[in-house]
Structures are given as structure tokens and as C-alpha cells.
Structure 1
Amino acid sequence: MPHTDPSTSTYPSAYDRLTAPGAPFAVVAGEDGRAVYAQGPRTLREFVEVTWGYGERPFLVGEHRAYTYREFFAVACALARRFTEVYGLRPGDRAVIAMRNHPEWQIAFWAAQLAGLVAVPLNAWWTEDEFAYALDDCRPRVLLVDGERVGRVRDWARKAGVPGVVFHGDGEAEEGFERYEDLPAADPALGPPDVDVRPEDDATIIYTSGTTGRPKGAVATHLAQAGAAMNPRFHAAVAALERGEIPGQGPAPVSLTTFPFFHVAAFTSFYAVMAAGGTLVLMRKWDAAKALELIDRHGVTHYAGVPTTALQLLDAAQDTGLGTLTHLSTGGAAAPPGLVARCPQGVEARNGYGLTETSGGVLAAFGEAYRAFPGSVGRPTPVTEVRVAAPDGRALPEGEVGELWLRGQSLCRGYWEDPEATAAAFTPDGWFRTGDLATVREGRVSVVDRLKDMVIRGGENVYCVEVEAALHDHPDVADAAVLGVPHPVLGEEVAAVVRLRAGARAGTGADELRAHVARRLAAFKVPAHVLVQDGPLPRNATGKVLKRELREDVQARVTRTR
């Protein structure tokens, strides 16, 4: 079962109060022996149906259109009925969603859930070839895309004979697609289609980020996604109790959620907002100054995004402050330990850990504990088990570094039609091998590196995350990535790619940065090569550095300097 910290007085007490029999987050053993929430929804259809009760509260606030909960539910039900009555779709059919963070993304996703379809959110940044790979893999029966994406799926749709709906399209409808704006007006009295959605049915296929190879489709059941919807509510309740507040009291959150909706980090955010009847404020494209304007205009209380954008927001707010903001949450990529210290008093920083395969966040750090232990990603939810495993799978003692294994309600059931990949990642008794190296101390989990990204220098393990954190501590460093490069004697040595802040001191260079790291870490961890570059580091949609894109250039530059 989850680790807790007996050395603190608040967390175990809050945990016990929330998970005791009959409490809101009580846990029971599921049919397969894994922990599941005793209460709460069992399907995403159940989850979204309840939000109708929030009525005229604002839900989705886009740049050109806003929806109340009642309006949202009516149009989602109308689209769901169109799927079943006009398109002839049946539960289990796949519905691809590919668009920016428009309000209509949420309408398309929840319409699929109300119709019992398997929603397949695809990366809106993908090229036509990347889309074709995923479309061939999941074989959808309907495409729900925006006008920017329709050209990238048009040829595939025509060849496969798959219809679609275009949202925010320009001009005439594409052949085989109908414009969402041209559909009949929703009748709020009709409700969703009459279909049977069971907890064991598949709810989503979400493709992995593909930073190390071809993306794989992680398949989550409704029960798993229902657990994922409860997880952020649990951590929010613990945080409230630790602040001396009653969970669920006070105004509903107004969240500027900047994660792309196709990523599971966004799911953690919008599940939490919807459960509380809160508001999602959306941005078409990230811009820190624009974000501050939206915070002021809409009274935003919660920010959610990758660490890179959170740091940019803090930079932009140095002179003006963060206004109404009370919470700043990061995820999707490792947060530099110094981020929490930059949050002003009155703004609660939150950090967490989750993966595509866990359907979003399953660990979280917040409040004073996060400030005291900024290198931690926190503690697990009550339906998440944690193991730090040796290569043979045996659990390691507290404090030792091993691979982080997870098991629990929100984990996906495997990869879409890929039994080999599923067997490689999941043990027969349900543990997921994350590929991350971690330690557990007094219940707090700290991720030290990716298993495959760790540098082995002359037999010594160098955890890239640790070196990156040391570089981020330098006041002139805006971004940093650490990786291994081949060495004829040592096997590998440490290299770093660094981007400096605008206005960095003229003397800041490789030697100073190496000396800075040397004052904090052992000599074998100090980068042998520090490469300063002007442009941004390559990152995927959730802020993770694409080290495979850096590696070839770094190796070439290192070879020239030897």
C-alpha cells in the first residue's frame, strides 16, 4: 500500500481521515487485488453526467467562445447522439481527437465518452506521417479535428473511408467531413444516447510521447480513468487539511490550464476542475505576458503547466506579481528544485509525477512539505502502490536507488494490440516498470533520472537530473540538459547543453558553469563538456527535452574539441 511519512504530524492524520472506512477516499480491494476507491464514479460517463448539475457556472473560457456547464453538457450530448444515430458508431469504436486547446476539444472528448466510444487524443503537433502512423494503428471510425489539422489527416481519411467533423474550419467543408458549426442546434432536453458503458470497457487510448522511439497507445479502462479523476481530488483534500481548511469549501477554482489537452498532465488538471465545478481558461498559444493578462481578466486562482512555462510566468511576474493566483502546479517534465523557492508567499506550489501509463498524476508534493523537500515528487494516492525495485524485481530498502514500479487503479491495462511491449512494461501481477530511477525516504518519492539516460562514467553512476538541477541553480542559466557522450577510456563522460538567460553576465561560460557544479557535486559528476547555445532546447509538447535530437550534435561538437 502507499508509503506515508510517520515523521510528520499532518500527512498521516489527513490521510487517515480521508481514507478511513466510509470516508470520501476509502479504499477497497478490486477484483484483481489492486486498490480501488470505494466511492466515486466507475466510468467517465458517470463522472461527466454529474457536472450538468453545475448549471450556469462558467466551464470553458476560450478566446472566442465560452460555455457554461449546462451549455457544454447539452452540446456534448447532441454530438454523442449524432455519433450513434447518424454515424452508426457503437461502444468500443475509436474516435480520434486532434486539435488545439479549443473549448470544443472538451466537447468532442466528452461526447465520445457519453456515446461509449474510445477517445484517442492525438498530439496536435504531429506531422502528416506521424498522424498516419497512429491512425493506421488505432483504426478510428470517426475523426474530430480542427481546421489546422484537417489537412494532415485528409488523405488518410479518404483512403480509409472514415468520416469526420471539423471544428474551427475555414470556408467550405472538406470532402468526407462536416463542419461542427453547421450541425443542428443542441436540444438540452434530450440528454445522452442510451448506451451501456461498463467500468471494464476501454475509455481512452493515449499515445506515449515517443521520446525514445515510435509512440505506443496506452489503453485505459473506464475504471482506470475514474480512478485518475479521483486522484487529484484526494491530493487537493490532503493539501486543504494541511492548511487547516475543510476540503471542498470556498470558491471553485479558476484554472489557467496550459498543458495540451492530448497529454495526461492536462487530464489531471481538468478532472480536478470539473469535479469542483470550476472554470478552465484556455490559451491558443503560450505567452507569459498574455497569461498574466488572463489571470487578471478572469480572476484565475490556479495555474497548471510544464515547469518551463511556469518559470517564464514567474519571470514575467517579477514586477507585477501574480495577482489572484493562489496555486501554481507543474507536471509533464521534471521541475527544477529551485522552482518552488521562487513562488511568492501566498501561492502554493505543487509538483507531481505521472505518466501516460498511469493516466495522469499519481504522486504529488505540495505545501510546506514541497518547500522543505523540493527534489521530491511527493507521496502517492491511496490507490497507488510504490516499489523501488532492483533489476531482479525485488523491493530495495528505503533510500536506495532503483527503478520505480507502480501499481494501482489508474494504470492502463497495456498497449494497444502490442502484447510484446505490454509484457516488457508490466509484470504478470500488475506492476508497471516506469523506466525512472527513484528513491523513497519517509514516504516521499524522488526521481533521480531516466534509467536509459543515466550516464555511467568509469563505473560511477551519474544521474542527469541531479546535474541539471545544479546547473539550474546558477542565476544565469535559463535551461539545461545533461547527457552522456562516448569516451574511449571511461566508457561515457558527462556533457551539458546550456542556454543562458537574456542579459547574462559576459563572463558566464563553460568554465564558470563547471566550477559552479563542482561546488555542489562530486568531481566525477561535473560535466567534462559544457556547450552554451543561443536557441531553445528541443522539447516535446509537454516540456521534456528531446535528448535524442541533441545527442548527435553534442557528440560532433565534443569530438571537435578533443
Structure 2
Amino acid sequence: MLTDPGRHLADSVSRLADCLAHWAAVAPDHPALLHEGQSFDYAALDAAVSETAERLETRGLRPGDRLFIVGENTPATVMLVLAGNRAGGVVSVVNGRMADSEIRTLHDFADPRIAAFACDGSAAATAHARALGAEGDGPIRLGQTRDSLPEPRGQDPRRDTALIMFTSGTTGRPKGVMLSNACLLDQAKSQCIARALTPADTLYAVSPLSHNIGLVGNVLAAFAAGCRTVLPIRHDAGYLARMLAEGEITVIVGVPQLYAGLVEHAVREGMTFDGARLRVAGSGGAPLDPALKERVRGLLGVNLSNGYGATEFVPVSRTPLHLLDRELAANVVGVPSEGVELRIVDADGTDRPEGEAGEIWVRGPFMMQGYFRNAEATDEVMRPGGWLATGDIGEFRDGLLSIVGRQKEIIIRSGFNVYPTDVEAALSTHPDVSAVAVVGRPVQGNEEIVAYVTALPGRSLDPQALRDFVRPVLTAYKIPSEIVVLDVMPVGPTGKILKAALKTRA
């Protein structure tokens, strides 16, 4: 353990993989990873990472070289991330369930020295390995070494680029967010402190490792704290419910839809959780319905806490523990995280007064280094003084930050700006609504508001009754022109609602 109790492990190491080596040295037998019946303690996982790092170096990976990883939530993906980091490389993780054309586009853009494939239990990653000419038949398969220009390396490994995380699809030029070792360690430390993580915790990690909440907010934070991580390849509400009921899970960080599915399963199966030990239920990525928060509290005895961040800068804000008992609106995401400065500004960069909406600007320790090989895109979001313009619209009320919407999602109806989050927050308070998403629909000279909703199990929804329900809380121009009831809401691998798919229906 660390000799200085006031200093966190993440402050004392230079690279992500050093956290794993620390726990392998001081608590080698402590469980580190559980996946589909496989279990790794810290010593075994650290040894596997070292072996993989040596294999990468033998293949030709040099400090600063980019390692392009295709995989799902499996041990081999984790090993490759930490092995690439231990070897001084720059890793990128892409979801093996993406289409072949998407993988190839991101691979070519990343220009990696080596492509690696985590094939343990992932038929999709195995297929991509074959398509891109990787060798071997084991759980980790490597492509041919390519000529590529490494990223710069300095005297302090903490300042070196460690991760390039992709934030866009394949239409147009991909964006790769560059994050340093220091930034990632600070993010992991922030999670550890906010969740009070200790080696006694077991964290359920379902968000894809290709996303920040999965890789950093869950797995790397767990390794920084010496926790055990449960890593299912795909989320299964029944599996999670059983693990909770048996007292196996103490911490969950995920999107609201994860909790909605958990509650639906538990109610349908008549499950009780008298033996549960869950103490932290963190939420992010979408508005947090107060009714869902109440259902989770009634079922599991914990309060859902909402937060906000972006791949370029996370965490921006969190709901502090002393506010979790308060009834908060669905789009409230708490107060700025420790060390984070935040502004709400108008189009000219002038600060807006409390209670008035504007673009969220942030700066602090969690800032990206920029977009990979895309100085123009970097300049578009960076502002004088080191501020990042997030593109999200927010406001402060009573010292709490609320997310109103995204600049690109604003619906302009009859000359008025309508933020989808406002409408979603109102509809989500209906007792029979499970999920809601609001999009704009162009009409001649105007835009209409279209809301998509799904009902809780055993409930039904009437569009006209829903419109009547929100009239007292929404101004007339915010009332949806149409409300569509769906059996199932389209969601992506992170559990987020796919608004792009809904826009094609509108």
C-alpha cells in the first residue's frame, strides 16, 4: 500500500499499467477480473499483461507507436490495452461489433504500427482478424507490422499520449481524442474518490471498453483502487440482477437505460434484494428520470447519482452525495468536479447569468490534448485561456448544473429554440413511461417536435393523454406535434438511445 495515506496511487505512478503492477506486488492473490466464469487475480493478470507487452515489442511496437485494438468486453481487450501502455505505445480500442467498413476506416485513419484483435469469446473480433490478415488462432491475434510515424515521447511519461479514443462514425473524417497518461490517471483517481472505491469493492463494468465510461470510468478506476471488476461481454439484466441479489456487486456506473432494464427484469421476475450490497449507483450519458431514481431506490436501497462529461473532458460534473436524497430534475448533473472550472456563455463568449442557458465551457485536469491529426477540429473547440467549448447547452440554478441540450440538436419551432432535453424531462415524469427521446422533423419553413416513448412492462401509453400530461409544465411551442409509442427503443452498444435512427423515422 502507499505509505502516504493522503496520496492516491494514481498520483504516484507514470502509466496506467503501473496501477496493475502495484496491486500485483502488494496484493497478488486479490481478485482483479471476472469474465464469463474466468477469474484473474492481480498477479495473474499482471503476468499476462507483461507477456503480451513482450509479444508486442517483439513484433515491433516501439514507444510512441499506435496500437489499434479490435475487441469487446473481454480479458484479452484489457490485456492488450495495458500491454500497449506498458510498452510505451498509444492504444485505441474499437468495438468488435462494428461493421467491417467502419473498422477499416478507423484503422486507416489511426495509421497504427500494429493492429491487434481480442478474439476470446468474440466472434466479431475473430472475423475482423481474418479480414485484416492477422496471424495465429489464440485469444490475441496480431496483424503485420506497418511503417508509421510514432507519437512524440518526452522525459515524463505522464505527459505522453496514452490513448486515442474515437468519437465519430465513418461519415466524414473520424475524430480521435488524444488523452495523456496523466489525464487518464486523474480521471481514474476522480472516480475512485467520488465513489470511495477500495479493494473490497466489486464493480460491474458493462459499458464498452471502446468508450470512456467503460475503459476509464470502470476498468481503469477499478485497477487504480485495487477492486475486482465483473466484465460481461454483453449486458444481461438477469445476470446483473442475480449478482446483485447474491451480494456480489457493490458499484455500478452506467447509463440510465441499464437501470431501467434492471428494474423491469426484477419486477417481472418478482425478485428481492435483501442480500444486496450495492452502495454506489452512478449514472450518466442521458437525463435521469426522477421516477426511475425512485424505483431504483425502492428496489435496491441506493440513490442514483447523475453526472456529465464528454470524451474530450470527463468528468465535468457529478451530483454530490449530500444531494442524492433531493428530488432533482431529470437533466440536473450536479456541481463541477474537483479541480474543474466551468462557464456558461453566449455566442460571443460572454458569461450568462444564473438561470439563463448558454454553451458550457470547461477547463481543468481532465482536458484532452487535441484531436489526432486534426488541428482544424481542435481549433474549433478550444478557446483562449485553455477553455474547451463542449457544444452542450446548460444552465445553473441554485448552484446546480442542468444540461438543456446540444447546439446541434436544438429544434427551432416557429422562431423559438426548443431543447429536446426539456421535453424529454417532462415526458419522463409520467408514471407509465420507460424511455423517451425527442427529435426535430423539418416541415416547410419550420420544424416540428416528435417524441418517441416506450412504456413500462404491463403499462400502456396514449399519445394524446401524454400531451395533456405535459401541458402544465411546457410552454405551448414545446408540446410535441406527434408522440410515437414504440415497443422497443433503438439503443447502441453503450445503452444510449440512437437518435439518428429515430430521425430517419421522423
* TM-score, normalized by the shorter chain, greater than 0.5: yes
Give the direction of change, closer, same or farther, for the CA distance of 1:196–1:87 in structure 2 (3 Å limit): farther
1:142-161 pair list within 5 angstroms: 142-147=114-119, 148=123, 149-155=125-131, 157-158=132-133
Name which of 537, 544, 549 aligns with 2:496: 544
Tell whether the 8 Å contact from 1:40 to 1:230 is kept in structure 2 after alignment: no
Please tell me the residue identity of whatever aligns with 1:327: V
Matched, 1:268 2:240: no
Shift of 1:68: 0.4
Matched, 1:220 2:176: no
Matched, 1:404 2:360: yes
Name which of 365, 369, 373 aligns with 2:323: 369
Shift of 1:146: 3.0
Distance in 1 between the 2:293 and 2:171 partners? 29
What residue is the counterpart of 1:231 in the other structure?
190
Tell whether the 8 Å contact from 1:355 to 1:361 is kept in structure 2 after alignment: yes
Tell whether the 8 Å contact from 1:256 to 1:304 is kept in structure 2 after alignment: yes
Q: Matched residue of 2:106: which SS?
A: helix
Distance in 2 between the 1:90 and 1:511 partners? 62
Please tell me the residue identity of whatever aligns with 1:321: T
Give the direction of change, closer, same or farther, for the CA distance of 1:94–1:255 in structure 2 (3 Å limit): same
- What runs of 5+ residues in structure 2 fail to find an aligned partner? 146-153
Q: Matched residue of 1:235: which SS?
A: helix
Shift of 1:101: 0.9
Shift of 1:131: 0.4
Please tell me the residue identity of whatever aligns with 2:205: T
Matched, 1:285 2:225: no
Q: Matched residue of 1:436: which SS?
A: strand
Please tell me the residue identity of whatever aligns with 2:477: F
What residue is the counterpart of 1:83 in the other structure?
56
Tell whether the 8 Å contact from 1:143 to 1:165 is kept in structure 2 after alignment: no
Shift of 1:176: 6.0
Q: Matched residue of 2:408: which SS?
A: coil
Q: Matched residue of 2:259: which SS?
A: helix
Distance in 1 between the 2:47 and 2:98 partners? 31
Matched, 1:462 2:418: yes
Tell whether the 8 Å contact from 1:145 to 1:164 is kept in structure 2 after alignment: no
Tell whether the 8 Å contact from 1:341 to 1:371 is kept in structure 2 after alignment: no
1:433-512 pair list within 5 angstroms: 433-488=389-444, 491-505=446-460, 508-512=461-465
Name which of 22, 42, 56 aligns with 1:50: 22
Name which of 76, 81, 91 aligns with 1:119: 91
| Residues 278-299 of structure 1 deviation map (CA, whole Å, 9 limit, x = unaligned) | 1111222222112112234562
Distance in 2 between the 1:438 and 1:485 partners? 23
Matched, 1:392 2:348: yes
What residue is the counterpart of 1:92 in the other structure?
64
Tell whether the 8 Å contact from 2:53 to 2:83 is kept in structure 1 after alignment: yes
Give the direction of change, closer, same or farther, for the CA distance of 1:420–1:153 in structure 2 (3 Å limit): farther
Tell whether the 8 Å contact from 1:483 to 1:496 is kept in structure 2 after alignment: yes
Tell whether the 8 Å contact from 2:118 to 2:126 is kept in structure 1 after alignment: yes
Shift of 1:167: 5.4
Distance in 1 between the 2:108 and 2:410 partners? 34
Q: Which has the higher contact order (CA 8 A, sep 6+)?
A: 1
Please tell me the residue identity of whatever aligns with 1:70: A
Tell whether the 8 Å contact from 2:247 to 2:277 is kept in structure 1 after alignment: no
Tell whether the 8 Å contact from 2:10 to 2:19 is kept in structure 1 after alignment: no
Q: Paired residues, what number?
A: 480
Shift of 1:165: 6.9
Give the direction of change, closer, same or farther, for the CA distance of 1:164–1:306 in structure 2 (3 Å limit): farther
Amino-acid identity (%): 31
Give the direction of change, closer, same or farther, for the CA distance of 1:407–1:166 in structure 2 (3 Å limit): farther
Shift of 1:59: 0.7
Name which of 335, 357, 369 aligns with 2:288: 335
Aligned-CA RMSD value: 2.7
Please tell me the residue identity of whatever aligns with 2:467: R
Please tell me the residue identity of whatever aligns with 2:316: V
Tell whether the 8 Å contact from 1:145 to 1:166 is kept in structure 2 after alignment: no
Name which of 37, 42, 46 aligns with 1:73: 46
Tell whether the 8 Å contact from 1:496 to 1:527 is kept in structure 2 after alignment: yes
Give the direction of change, closer, same or farther, for the CA distance of 1:298–1:128 in structure 2 (3 Å limit): farther
Matched, 1:208 2:163: no
Shift of 1:64: 3.2
Give the direction of change, closer, same or farther, for the CA distance of 1:431–1:210 in structure 2 (3 Å limit): farther
Please tell me the residue identity of whatever aligns with 1:264: N
- What runs of 5+ residues in structure 1 fail to find an aligned partner? 1-21, 26-36, 178-194, 238-247, 555-562
Tell whether the 8 Å contact from 1:379 to 1:443 is kept in structure 2 after alignment: yes
Distance in 2 between the 1:269 and 1:404 partners? 25
Please tell me the residue identity of whatever aligns with 1:445: L
TM-score normalised per structure 1: 0.79
What residue is the counterpart of 1:17 in the other structure?
none
Distance in 2 between the 1:404 and 1:211 partners? 27
What residue is the counterpart of 1:4 in the other structure?
none
Matched, 1:317 2:270: no
Q: Matched residue of 1:280: which SS?
A: strand
Shift of 1:396: 1.6
Distance in 2 between the 1:421 and 1:168 partners? 37
Please tell me the residue identity of whatever aligns with 1:113: N
| Residues 126-172 of structure 1 deviation map (CA, whole Å, 9 limit, x = unaligned) | 100000111001111222213321322544x34xxxx5676548xxx
Name which of 52, 61, 67 aligns with 2:34: 61
Distance in 1 between the 2:342 and 2:7 partners? 22
Distance in 2 between the 1:211 and 1:501 partners? 35
Name which of 198, 201, 210 aligns with 2:157: 198
| Residues 63-113 of structure 1 deviation map (CA, whole Å, 9 limit, x = unaligned) | 1311001111111111112222x1121111111222121122211111111
Shift of 1:210: 3.9
Distance in 2 between the 1:66 and 1:214 partners? 40
Distance in 1 between the 2:83 and 2:228 partners? 19
What residue is the counterpart of 2:149 in the other structure?
none
Tell whether the 8 Å contact from 1:370 to 1:376 is kept in structure 2 after alignment: no
What residue is the counterpart of 2:148 in the other structure?
none
Distance in 2 between the 1:122 and 1:467 partners? 33
Distance in 1 between the 2:289 and 2:173 partners? 28
Shift of 1:204: 0.2
Distance in 2 between the 1:516 and 1:39 partners? 51
Tell whether the 8 Å contact from 1:76 to 1:110 is kept in structure 2 after alignment: yes
Q: Matched residue of 1:440: which SS?
A: strand
Tell whether the 8 Å contact from 2:287 to 2:425 is kept in structure 1 after alignment: no
Please tell me the residue identity of whatever aligns with 1:54: A
Shift of 1:265: 0.8
